[in-house]
Amino acid sequence: MLRLPAFAYSSPKSLEAVLATLAEQPGRARLIAGGTDLLPNLKHGIEEAGLVVSLKHVPGLDGVEEQSDGSLRLGAMLTLEDLANHDVVRARYPALASAAGQIAGPHHRRMGTLGGNVCLNTRCVYINQTHFWRESLGYCLKKDGSACHVVKRGKRCVAAASNDTAPVLTTLGARLVIASAARGEREIDVGDFYTQDGVFNKDLQPDEMLTHVIVPPPAKGLHSAYGKLRPRDSIDFPRLSVAVAFVLKGGAGTAADPGKVHDLHIVVSALASTPVKLRKVDELAEGRTADETLFEEIAAAAYKQCHPLTSIDGDPAYRRDMVPVYVKRALRDALASGASA
Ligand SMILES: Cc1cc2nc3c(=O)[nH]c(=O)nc-3n(C[C@H](O)[C@H](O)[C@H](O)COP(=O)(O)OP(=O)(O)OC[C@H]3O[C@@H](n4cnc5c(N)ncnc54)[C@H](O)[C@@H]3O)c2cc1C
Ligand code: SF4
């Protein structure tokens, strides 16, 4: 049986108290939201904590608030279940609701939070194992070792970003609100938050925490969708994920005359330590009719840009072959789903 290591625990009743604790013990104090990722990682010895600080009793972190400019301010402690089922989120950002609803299983979504998902650790088949398993392999760069088993002689960990909400939030141009005791609040585009470092892939200091996610108001005619390759339709992390968002203008909204594509964003994830924004697909699609010819061209461009590694389960060649399949499916789903309300 895997046991949790010993650690101190605190459950502050205010954001200020959480931030003060992080500032006093940076690195030693670790935040816990739903605990669905942190606790298994502590049990496996992949992460360590001298003090676990719960966000459960901090007020003001679990709401969905509509702001005067039409954006939605989502609390970091909003559960994945509430995010997936929220009427306004479903109407405006169906891809976000869909991504949240595809994370893990029902129990995890009831416990797991948006903030925990955005801040999720990277994953790799050589690290998400028991301590015994990792020890027999000689550990790796991400924890306790000096070599990478994925990129031999590599100097940088390439464990994969595996959080389902991140690619969608990137296509939607969401911003993250991050707070610390020393520097107050700052905002960062989610597209700039993740870094190419599988050991710690976020622009988040040990004394900082995520408090909110701000999703801008949907542009008129916004279409979005999310697709996820996984072995089962439940519980599994993505082996590949694709988020698309574009604005459709003109046209009759029929299959024969769907309208023209503008401002296309496609983000593919579970390939590298960050979600990857596909290059030049926006130029390829701008002003063109949203039809199968265009979708085929975009899918071919996506295939050229995506190179899965062995850090994730599943044959990399198969996962690469699935890139154009999932890009086309997501584009079709976005077109079929209708514009955001
Ligand atoms: C069997 C299983 C299957 C899973 N499948 C998926 C899946 O398909 N897709 C997926 O995306 N995830 C999956 N997960 C992981 C996890 O359930 C989700 O990512 C969930 O959203 C994590 O949220 P949490 O609140 O439980 O995070 P926690 O475990 O509490 O925290 C995760 C990390 O984020 C940090 N953190 C939490 N909140 C904040 C904050 N506000 N500010 C700064 N740092 C913070 C914690 O310190 C920790 O490092 C799975 C987990 C399990 C056990
Ligand atoms: S990518 Fe390499 S260093 Fe990173 S967790 Fe996997 S084996 Fe370890």
Residue 227 CA, ligand 2 centroid: distance in Å? 26
Domain coordinates in residue numbering, the chain: 1-58, 64-120+160-215, 222-337
What are the DSSP E strand ranges found in the chain? 8-10, 29-32, 51-54, 64-66, 72-75, 175-180, 184-189, 208-215, 222-229, 240-249, 260-269, 276-277
What's the DSSP call for residue 315?
-
Question: In this structure, which topology does domain 222-337 adopt according to CATH?
Answer: Enolase-like; domain 1 (3.30.390)
**Which ligand places an atom closest to the C-alpha of 46?**
2
DSSP label at residue 218: P
Domains 1-58 and 222-337 equal at CATH topology level? no
| Ligand nearest, relative to CA of residue 204 | 1
**Predicted local confidence at residue 21, as pLDDT:** 98
Is the CB of 32 within 6 Å of ligand 1? Answer: yes
Grouping H, G, I as helix, E, B as strand and the rest as coil, residue 332 is helix
Q: What CATH number is given for 64-120+160-215 in this structure?
A: 3.30.465.10
pLDDT score recorded for residue 101: 98
Residue with tokens 């309208």: 259
Treating both helix axes as pointing N-terminal to C-terminal, what angle do 292-305 and 316-337 enclose, rounded to 10 degrees?
150
How far apart (Å, rounded) are the C-alpha atoms in residues 140 and 144? Answer: 6
| List of the chain residues with pLDDT < 70 | none
For position 252, what pLDDT does the model report? Answer: 81
Kindly report the pTM of this predicted structure: 0.97
Q: Which residues contact 217 (CB under 8 A, 6 or more apart)?
A: 69, 70, 71, 92
Task: State the Cα–Cα distance between residues 116 and 163, nearest whole angstrom.
Answer: 9
Spatial distance between the Cα atoms of 48 and 212, rounded to a whole number of angstroms: 25
Strand partners, 74: 64, 213
pLDDT tens per residue across span 48-96: 999 999 999 999 999 999 999 999 999 999 999 999 999 999 999 999 9
pLDDT of residue 32: 98
Report domain 1-58's class.
alpha beta
Q: Which of 133, 139, 141, 273 to mutate to test the pocket of ligand 2 (most atoms within 8 A of CB)?
A: 141
